[in-house]
Amino acid sequence: MTKNKRKGFDDLIARREELGDASPPWTLSEEGPGSAVEPSHRSDTGPAGPEAVPAPYETANAGELTVAEHDDLAACEAAIDTLRVAFWAAGKALQVIRDARLYRTAHPTFEAYVGERWEMTRTQADRLIRAWPLAERLTPIGVKIINEAQIRELLPLADQHGQDAAVTVYRTVLETDGVRITAALLKGVVAVLPPDRFDHAEAVTQIRAYLAGETAPADSSPATTAELWSVEAGRVRTALRRVRQGAIRAAAEDPDDARKLAAELRELADEVEQGLQQ
């Protein structure tokens, strides 16, 4: 195989880091953290290659998509969808090749195989292999999907306390209204939990308190401004959800106070918007 073909996979891995979300649409079992997880059924048509994607074009059309545009959208989304399964599918495939020594005909070692065949380091290959079982187990709810960056934040917890602990953490965050799940948020959530033990009920309480802004992680490792903002923004969204619900209930009893709160929130939102424009 030519070098360009070998490099294709390395390029895919690089794009996976850029795109973030990279796992298939699985569904968590309703039986709880310890239950088995089954994948959703995918189309049997297989992944779409570049040849299935239409050439880029512009249109002056407005309103509803035409039949042809619907077909183009489906073809483009099918092609993008192949990236969603890249990291966990690659990790699983690499483990099969490594454990069964399927590389042995043409390569003396697994490290030589991934380097020569895929221009990938052994560290990259091991990282994908380590991530895929948890990615398969931590199957998101509905349309939400997990990516490798999120998996990396949960792997230490799973290694120490088992995959059930990671399922508990991820499910609790997913079920919290107004929270956008990110790797930075999961990092903060894991840091709140005691490192020497894991109790399901205790963990749920601690996670909810953290997401509500009532506690802070004990982890003193430095975080970037973007990470801190991502965590804080998720907590703000959760608080605003509760405020909205409470204001709606209280409006009938004290409409003036509800209006005052709404005005204060609008003023705060205007200040944030002005800051963004500057």
Going by the DSSP 8-state scheme, the letter that residue 50 receives in this structure is G
Does any domain span residue 87? no
Does any domain span residue 96? no
From first to last of the 278 residues of the chain, give the pLDDT tens digit.
444 444 444 554 554 444 444 343 333 333 443 333 333 333 444 555 678 888 898 888 888 889 999 999 888 888 877 766 678 888 999 999 999 999 999 999 999 999 999 999 999 999 999 999 998 887 655 445 678 888 999 999 999 999 999 999 998 988 887 788 888 889 989 998 998 999 999 999 999 988 887 776 655 454 455 555 655 666 666 666 666 666 676 666 777 777 787 787 787 777 777 777 76
Does any domain span residue 249? yes
Cross-strand partners of 21: 147
Q: What is the pLDDT of residue 137?
A: 85
Number of neighbouring beta carbons within 10 Å of residue 132: 22
Of residues 23, 16, 17, 35, the one with CA closest to residue 139: 23
Does any domain span residue 117? no
Q: What is the pLDDT of residue 237?
A: 63
Does any domain span residue 121? no
Does any domain span residue 100? no
Domain that includes residue 180, residue range: 146-278
Does any domain span residue 22? no
For the chain, percent helix, then strand, then coil, each to nearest 5? Answer: 65, 0, 35
Cα separation, 39 vs 135, in Å, equals: 12
Contact 242, 214 (CB under 8 A): no
At residue 204, the 3 state secondary structure works out as: helix
The helix (H) or strand (E) run that includes residue 276 is helix 255-277
pTM, whole model, 2 decimals?
0.56
Does any domain span residue 89? no
Of residues 185, 145, 119, 111, the one with CA closest to residue 27: 145
Cα separation, 227 vs 89, in Å, equals: 28
Cα separation, 139 vs 92, in Å, equals: 15
Number of structural domains (the chain) is 1
